[in-house]
Amino acid sequence: MQTENKMAVLPVGKLIWQMSIPPLISMFLQYSYNLIDSAFVARLSENALTAVSLSFPITTLMNAASIWIGVGVNVLIAGYLGKKEQDEANTVVTHGLLLAFGIGALLNLLSLLIMKPYFRAFTGNEEIYQLSIAYMSVCSFMQIPNMVHIAIQKMIQATGNMIAPMWFQVAGVVVNFVFDPILIFGIGIFPAMGIRGAAVATVAGYVLSMILAFALLLGKNQKVQIKIKGFHLQSRTIGRIFAFGLPSFVMNALSSFMVTFVNLFLVAYSDTAIAFFGAYFKVQQLIVMTVNGLIQGCLPVMRFNYGAGNKERLRLAFRYGTTLVTGMMLIGTLAVILFPAQILGLFTASEAMRSFGISAMRIMAASYLFCGLSTMISTYFQATEKVWSSMAIQLCRQLLFLIPALWCLDKCLRLNGIWLAFPVAETATLLVALVMMVWYHRK
């Protein structure tokens, strides 16, 4: 009840800070896994970096599925708590855990089945192919622990507790960061496992996060609990979890498909171009998804007050969140524009990569602010049950506008056109999102 009162009456600015900083940090940590792997793997060779880059769409799709269930559960629980329907909130917890285990196992299996034909489609280099298989054959097993710990994280965040979930994220990233160099290069009693060691460190980090997340959820002081007595599967609840999490899934899954499409264009130029884009995109994801963590902190606040019928606090949360997103995206843009050479240095970039990579990073960084604003509008629609409108914005961002822009600009400007397609698509998407926002308000 205390959590409900905080969500309903605490000054919106203070509430947004309390709710947003922990998931912001959690998302930063979540997306640092691949960046850390790439930074260490790049020290093995550029081919190893290319292998991790080719694996990135698969791991991104797996993360997208985890966020799908997690956000769906988060939105439903926050809405039920806003209506003071505790039993319904606990029912969602049990459904969320079952979905996380079941879908996690399915995606683990699918990843193992598709990886060979997938990697064959993108490289004829036998060394890159074998490195890709070695990495992904282990990384596939991250999905169950990844899915479960994200689901629990979102459940606890929906109650207003944003601090505790951050710590099991921290623990997982620390394990990954410590064991990456130990297992890749072989230190002490550990043998040198090369690229496979990076994957083992990643899976170990996720397993630890899952164990700690379960320990936290089972604690007596949690505002939501696993419902066992009287529980039965409800197709309506499962459908609503999928529906409310769908825009977040689309946003993240489209990143996977987008990287795949971009790689199809880049393969005509060189393996170095693929390696560069994989490295750069991990940096972009770290910035964009960290800001998205802030936006996801705004989501339960908006959803709670929408469920409670408090339109004024709903609008205040949207405006305050938009201000924070604008500031953070400007900082991220400046960091990439001012320090591209130093960022590429993290990946032991060759002179060939630097020759086009520095200017490419500056061009693509121009899209960050537009991306943040359109995502904030999409999240507002998500919180107010305009799911299809929310999803349409994400489709425009990474598919409907981006793919045609890639095709046209690649024909006209070659490699530079591929980089320019990103700010062009993001600008067009923001214009569409603003028109939709104005239309709904007038309606």
pLDDT, tens only, 352-376: 999 999 999 999 999 999 999 999 9
pLDDT at residue 345, rounded to an integer: 95
pLDDT at residue 412, rounded to an integer: 94
Asked whether the predicted pLDDT for residue 286 surpasses 70, the reply is: yes
Asked whether the predicted pLDDT for residue 3 surpasses 50, the reply is: no
Asked whether the predicted pLDDT for residue 2 surpasses 60, the reply is: no
Do the beta carbons of residue 443 and residue 391 sit within 8 Å?
Answer: no
Mean pLDDT for 303-324 is 90
pLDDT at residue 297, rounded to an integer: 83
Do the beta carbons of residue 365 and residue 338 sit within 8 Å?
Answer: no
pLDDT at residue 442, rounded to an integer: 83
pLDDT at residue 307, rounded to an integer: 83
Mean predicted lDDT score pLDDT of the chain: 91
Asked whether the predicted pLDDT for residue 406 surpasses 80, the reply is: yes
Mean pLDDT for 3-29 is 79
User: From CA 43, how far away is CA 56, in angstroms rounded?
Assistant: 18
**In terms of pLDDT, which residue wins out, 241 or 289?**
241
Mean pLDDT for 150-160 is 90
Judged by average pLDDT, the poorest of 19-28, 72-81, 311-320, 342-351 is 19-28
pLDDT at residue 95, rounded to an integer: 96
- Per-residue pLDDT band at 23 (split at 50, 70, 90): confident
Full-model pTM = 0.80
pLDDT at residue 372, rounded to an integer: 94
Share of the chain above pLDDT 70, in %: 99
How open is the CA angle 59-299-27, to the nearest 5 degrees? 35
Judged by average pLDDT, the poorest of 139-143, 184-188, 222-226, 415-419 is 222-226
**In terms of pLDDT, which residue wins out, 161 or 233?**
233
pLDDT, tens only, 98-137: 999 999 999 999 999 999 999 999 888 999 999 999 999 9
